[in-house]
Structure 1
Amino acid sequence: MDLTGKVAVVTGSGRGLGLAYATALARAGAAVVVNDLDAETAERAATSITEAGGRAVAEAVAVGTSEAAQALVDRAVAAFGRLDVMVTNAGILRDKVLWKMTDEDFDAVVTTHLRGTFTCARAAAIRMREQGDGGSLIMVGSPAGQRGNFGQTNYAAAKAGIAAMVRTWSMELARAGITVNAIVPVAATAMTETIPAFAPYIEAMKQGAPLPGFLRKGEGFGTAADCAALVPFLASGAARSVTGQCIGIGGDKLALWSHPHETAVAYADGGWSPEAIAASWATSVGREPQTTGIPAPVIPGGGAA
């Protein structure tokens, strides 16, 4: 996968998944703007890429505002002359159940994830349209945005919004040759280390042991580097026909998430009354209700954790 000559911005790439994405892009030949809220972390990440033979610069800014998004685009253009790829990875968590979540908890997560994705994608799209030769917007979603997750009102809402924006932007930017997709990663990170079922396997991995097959295949759970493989593909010419999609990756698993669609339909001549809905619900559209939440991991010999 040769991305020589392409320039990418990866938000929230000082560590974890973001750094894995930036590193994978650089290894494929792209020049990368590494971003983190902390300047030292951003510089350290950029240095790790350049010392490995890649090209990278750092831009320390808190993602969310239009000014921050423009600073990232301007940094790419100033350092490397153009912008071809925008990866919106930056994010934070403020997990609480609904009745305990504050306005500040909600706004902070939505500002970074949803507004940050919007402002960075908009700034990138403007620049790419001016350049006139297409580009790639790669947004970062989550299983929580596809299915919901207990205690993550703010995060799930933001990630679901990102999926909806991806579908919309894929239509709006098609004539400009700009593809827009979301990746839905599942990996061993600081966040997933807190899941009791995964914790012992992640700890063993840190000591050099491989993750077992039931995690890598059955759960699609692996390392950050496993997830990073999807990013250079979506940034490449091989993916020019791939747009408007939510694509899952993790461990040994690659998956395509469905778009929301009607799963059952019923009709009543002249329209529905409340009583008619109640009478037919269980035998018509409500016969097989949709499930919610991320399925619990299945541990061999122990059932669902």
Structure 2
Amino acid sequence: MSLDGKVAIVTGSGRGLGLAYAQELARQGASVVINDVDADTAAAAVATIEDAGGSAVAVVAPVGPTTTAQELVRTAVERFGRLDILVTNAGVLRDTVLWKMSDDDFDTVIGVHLRGTFTCVREAATYMRANEIAGRIICIGSPTGQRGNFGQTNYAAAKAGIVGMVRTWALELKKAGITANAVIPVAATAMTATVPYFAAAVEADAAGEPMPEFYRHGLGFGTSDDVSGLIAYLASDAASGVSGQAIGVGGDRIQLWSHPEPVVTAYHEGGWSTEALEAEFPATIGESLQSVGERFPALPDELQRPRP
């Protein structure tokens, strides 16, 4: 597999997961447009790629506005001659429970994650279609968008929406040979670093030590590098037949998330009146109600950390 001659944009790639994605794409031969809101961070990210023998350039701008999407695509084409790959990774968090979440908390997260994904993909897909490039669109989702999570109304809505858009784009872009997929990473990030449950794994990663098998294999929780291989694979010609999928990856585990499907189907002649539902719902639908949120097994004693 090689990405020689390919050009990629990775939003939110100044550090963390986004930087790991950009570095792996560059390692496989792609030229990369780095994006971050901080100029120093973006410059440092570019330097890591160039120091390793790769090619990169930075666009310092917040993701969300159409003008940023246009600048990203324009920079890729002007600097490297084309655009083949877009990875939409940029994101922010404004976590709080529903009754405390402000309009700004909601709009900020939706603006960066959901609108930012839409504007960047629209711009990239327009360019790819016009230039007959069988491009790769890779959007970053989250388990929160698949399952929900306490305190993350805005983030859950955005990440669920991204997967919905990806499935739609897979249909709309198929004729042009452009694939669209969502990656659901499970890895040590700034967010998981604050969760006591993951403390032992985050500590090991920060120290450059292997994560305990409980996390890597049991939970499918790993490092940024554990995710970046899937990004590069989906960006390659080898994955030309993969589109419209939501693929989870982390640690030693990879998962294919299903499309939502009915788990129970029942019929009532004449339709479902209030009375019919009261009488029959518990025995038909009620016994198969779905769980919400992620459920984690208890930590082994040796991985327990005191709460701050």
Specify if TM > 0.5: yes
Q: Percent identity?
A: 58
Contiguous gaps of at least 5 residues in structure 1: none
Q: Counterpart of 2:284? A: 284
Matched, 1:128 2:128: yes
AA paired with 1:145? Answer: G
Q: Contact 1:296–1:304 at 8 Å: present in 2 too?
A: no
Q: Counterpart of 1:141? A: 141
Which deviations, in whole Å up to 9, do the C-alpha atoms of 1:255-280 show, x marking residues without a partner?
00111111101101111111111111
Matched, 1:42 2:42: yes
Q: Contact 2:200–2:303 at 8 Å: present in 1 too?
A: no
Rounded Cα–Cα distance in structure 2 between residues aligned with 1:244 and 1:205: 32
How does 1:290-301 map onto structure 2 within 5 Å?
A: 290-301=290-301
Rounded Cα–Cα distance in structure 2 between residues aligned with 1:298 and 1:72: 44
Q: Contact 1:297–1:304 at 8 Å: present in 2 too?
A: no
SS at match of 2:171: helix
Rounded Cα–Cα distance in structure 2 between residues aligned with 1:14 and 1:197: 27
Q: Counterpart of 2:231? A: 231
Q: Counterpart of 2:107? A: 107
Q: Contact 1:298–1:304 at 8 Å: present in 2 too?
A: no
Rounded Cα–Cα distance in structure 2 between residues aligned with 1:63 and 1:208: 31
What is the CA-CA distance between 1:208 and the residue it aligns to? 3.1
TM-score of the aligned structures, taking structure 2 as reference length:
0.97
Matched, 1:242 2:231: no
AA paired with 1:159? Answer: K
- How many residues are treated as equivalent by the alignment? 305
Q: Contact 2:200–2:304 at 8 Å: present in 1 too?
A: no
Q: Counterpart of 2:209? A: 209
TM-score of the aligned structures, taking structure 1 as reference length:
0.97
Q: Which runs of 4+ in 1 moved over 2 A?
A: 300-305
Which deviations, in whole Å up to 9, do the C-alpha atoms of 1:126-185 show, x marking residues without a partner?
000011031000000000000000000000000000000000000000000000000000
Distance 1:303 1:16, change over 3 A: closer
Q: Contact 1:226–1:251 at 8 Å: present in 2 too?
A: yes
How does 1:264-279 map onto structure 2 within 5 Å?
A: 264-279=264-279
Rounded Cα–Cα distance in structure 2 between residues aligned with 1:101 and 1:16: 26
Rounded Cα–Cα distance in structure 1 between residues aligned with 2:205 and 2:18: 20
Q: Counterpart of 2:33? A: 33
Calculate the aligned-residue CA RMSD, in Å.
1.5
Distance 1:97 1:181, change over 3 A: same
Q: Contact 1:49–1:55 at 8 Å: present in 2 too?
A: yes
AA paired with 2:179? Answer: T
Q: Contact 2:186–2:250 at 8 Å: present in 1 too?
A: yes
AA paired with 1:279? Answer: A
